[in-house]
Copies of this chain bind each other. A is one copy, B any other.
Amino acid sequence: MIYVIGIGPGKLDHMTKEAIDCLRNSQVIIGYKTYINLIKDLIKDKEIIENGMRQEIDRCNMALEISSKGKSVALISGGDSGVYGMAGLIYELNSKRDKKERIKVVQGVTSCISAASSLGAPLMNDFCQISLSDLMTPWKQIEKRLELASQADFVICLYNPKSKGRPEHLSYAFKIMEKYKNSNTPVGIVKNAGRDNEEVYVMDFGRMNFDLCDMATMVIIGNKETYIDNGKIITPRGYKI
């Protein structure tokens, strides 16, 4: 049995009771070392397998092997395991096996929800999530999504906005969006959303500060109705008040 557990943004406070229970019911915990570290108080008595970035396939294969020997395994994702997390990969690998393992996706709070709660209420109308990482999606496809999402006036959440290998993706993305997003459109930047070292910044699209962003940052760009009041970003739902 494999539980694919989204641990939420990082604090135990933001995990669901189900996620905590499934961790407790698992014999082996497998995860990226940063996430394992965030939940270490909950898994002191467990067998722990941790490794580094880009070793997702190894982690999933280990989970499948250990589960096939009859042990219960928790496979850890940050945020929600179904949003750019481990749920897809474990299902993909399981689908290629002769003997399938049982998989349960344990829902969690994804990063944009967490970031939004610190910014105010930016996601009150239709929105989309776009990852700016082109490791696994062609950059042309990402550009197309940025263009059409801006044209549709979605609120846009950018995951993985920047890394050492692609420092310019975020500014390229803003170049595309500025055809449709006015310079006074509110932008929220949340670094380490939901963690003790969280940083929150609110600014206009035209004054975007790319230097504030890194890989652990969520960037949320408003729609045409979004405004800033008292430091909070508010996207109206449409009530007549």
Interface residues of A (CB under 8 A from B): 8-9, 11-18, 20-21, 56-57, 80-85, 87-89, 91-93, 95-96, 100, 105-110, 113-114, 116-118, 120-131, 135-137, 141-142, 144-145, 147-149, 151-154, 194, 229-230, 232, 234-239, 241
CB distance A100 to B148 under 8 Å? no
Given A124-B88, A234-B91, verify A17-B14 contact (CB < 8 Å).
yes
A230: B residues at CB distance < 8 A: 95, 100
Give the distance in Å from the alpha carbon of A18 to the alpha carbon of B108 in the complex: 13
Determine how close the nearest CB of chain B comes to the CB of A228; give it in whole angstroms: 10
CB distance B13 to A17 under 8 Å? yes
CB distance A88 to B148 under 8 Å? no
Given A57-B241, A87-B120, A123-B83, verify A145-B152 contact (CB < 8 Å).
yes
Copies of chain A in the complex: 2
Give the distance in Å from the alpha carbon of A15 to the alpha carbon of B18 in the complex: 8
Q: CB within 8 A of A17: which of B15, B89, B95, B118?
A: B15
Give the distance in Å from the alpha carbon of A214 to the alpha carbon of B168 in the complex: 44
Determine how close the nearest CB of chain B comes to the CB of A95; give it in whole angstroms: 4
The interface residues of chain A, by DSSP majority, are classed as mixed
Jot down 28 A-B pairs with beta carbons below 8 A, ordered by A: A12-B17, A13-B16, A13-B17, A13-B18, A15-B16, A80-B109, A82-B116, A82-B122, A82-B124, A83-B123, A84-B125, A87-B117, A87-B121, A88-B237, A91-B229, A92-B241, A105-B116, A105-B121, A107-B109, A107-B114, A107-B116, A108-B109, A108-B113, A126-B129, A128-B154, A147-B152, A148-B149, A149-B154
Q: CB within 8 A of A109: which of B16, B84, B122, B235?
A: B16
A13: B residues at CB distance < 8 A: 16-18, 21
Closest 6 CB pairs of A and B: A136-B238, A88-B124, A128-B128, A87-B121, A88-B121, A148-B152
Given A107-B14, A121-B105, verify A92-B145 contact (CB < 8 Å).
no
Determine how close the nearest CB of chain B comes to the CB of A39; give it in whole angstroms: 13
- With contacts A105-B120, A110-B113, A141-B153 known, what are 10 further pairs, Cβ within 8 A? A12-B17, A15-B16, A16-B109, A87-B121, A88-B236, A92-B236, A126-B129, A126-B145, A145-B152, A149-B149
